[in-house]
Amino acid sequence: MAASSTAPARVRFAPSPTGFLHLGGLRTALFDWLYARHTGGQFILRIEDTDQKRFNPDSLNDLMRSLRWLGLAWDEGPDIGGPHAPYVQSERRALYRQYADWLVEQGKAYHCYTSEAELEELRAKGLPYDRRHRALTAEQRAAFAEEGRASVIRFAAPLTGTTTVHDAIRGNITVENASIADPVLLKSDGLPTYHLAVVVDDRLMEITHVLRGEEWIPSAPLHQLLFEAFAWPAPIFVHLPVILDPSGKGKMSKRKTVVDGREFSPFVRDYITGGYLPDAMFNFLTNMGWSFDAEQEIFTREEAIARFDVTDISPKATALPFTKLDWMNGLYIRQMEPARLQEELAPYVAADLGLDVANLRTDRRLAELTPLIQERIKVLTEATALIDWAFVPASQILYPDPTQLIGKKLTAAESLHVLETGAAVIASIEPFAAPALEAAFRSQAETMQIKVGSFLAPFRVAITGRTVSPPLFESMHVLGREETLARLANATQTLRAYATAAV
């Protein structure tokens, strides 16, 4: 089968739930999903949990949540079943025992009774396993069993010749068979190692293409030999390029690091809580090792599905351009319909301010503020700092620096007069709407012969408690006449007290 075949592909994402899903793993799942959708095939989620000592149930929940967040729905998996269930390896141990025993019966694997202490002695000398139990007689095996020594099953790798694996994007990879030191296939507790389980499961689940990180390249020849030992055709291997950290100097770590003075997280969960949009992350990660074309960097899911092919993946390592993710996320935010953006913002604002999410999704204030800040934010978490003032009563708007209520080149007394004059306008103007407010304030500034910027500055601080905020008159409309007047009264009182104390 050619790697670029349009026949329906069956691909699998098979994480080990020992830690939280990172961006590299999510990119692998994304490429799997894209190729399955491109060919009209199936995307399978398989959980490789044979490392029971490191299994973390929180990790399993995290990875499924992360895949769903990105929109990568699987066609078969542990929660929805499928024709090749179960999809959790610890529930398939009888199968692995069956195939491991078959290899032993065929002389392609053997029981090894080497103790952990003996193995540690070899490791201390820098030596690989020496195949010491590969040619045991039946009597020797019986003697070990009578001693009560536990055994593992090891693969009897060829001692001579070479094995060649073809990678769809890297070409042929050839190794000397003698370098494959008879790896363990079945552990003494009856659970398989990765090498046996992945080969058996890929065959039984009819996987056609294996997309995985390039760190698995050293294992590929062993897996090729195992497929040959079972007389099974191997799937097409595609070893994906490594993702480097934003500095481009090293492989992306599985822990948070600081790059150019900014903390960088490799974990998907931190981007979900950090206010990134799944569509932006989808677009961003798709560009990590694959390119839509030389001109187009932004594309829809449908466009990516139509064009994606594994043979177009580059084997070259790619640095993760963190600033580009921010730029791309901001672009997607600006392209959203305000109503949808309000839906996306509500959980973040609610969490920050202790408000009810459902109420915020229909809150008039958030609906009016959303388009006012849409051009100003790159991530959803930036919204609260711009609009939190709108969701607290006037009494909670504080002015720790009263001088901020004084307009440029105005005195405290002049700024007091400005605030009082503006309050009178607000109290009487009809309709109470941004265009009418703006016209009246500009007219008043001209009448008082004060520059518009200096005239408006005290009102911005009085209403929001900040020198920078969304457009002033739209902000007044969001608050409504009564709340706006209440804040102006508080600000006037604060400024008057400051002016009096300063005399």
- Return the active site residues: 254
User: What does the alpha-carbon distance between residue 17 and residue 308 come to, in Å, rounded to a whole number?
Assistant: 28
Report the C-alpha gap between 9 and 3 in whole angstroms: 10
Backbone angles phi, psi at 274, to 5 degrees: -85, 0
Per the listing, tokens 């043979």 go with 311
Which residues have CB under 8 Å from 270's CB, separation 6+? 256
Helix (H) and strand (E) counts for the chain?
Answer: 20, 13
194-204 and 93-105 helices, crossing angle to 10°: 100
CB neighbour list of residue 447: distance below 8 Å, 6 or more residues apart:
none
**Angle CA 117–221–287, to nearest 5:** 110
Q: How far apart are the first and last CA of the chain?
A: 89
Cis peptide leading into 431, omega within 30 of 0? yes
Location of structure tokens 């040619």: 135
Cα-to-chain-centroid distance, residue 315: 22
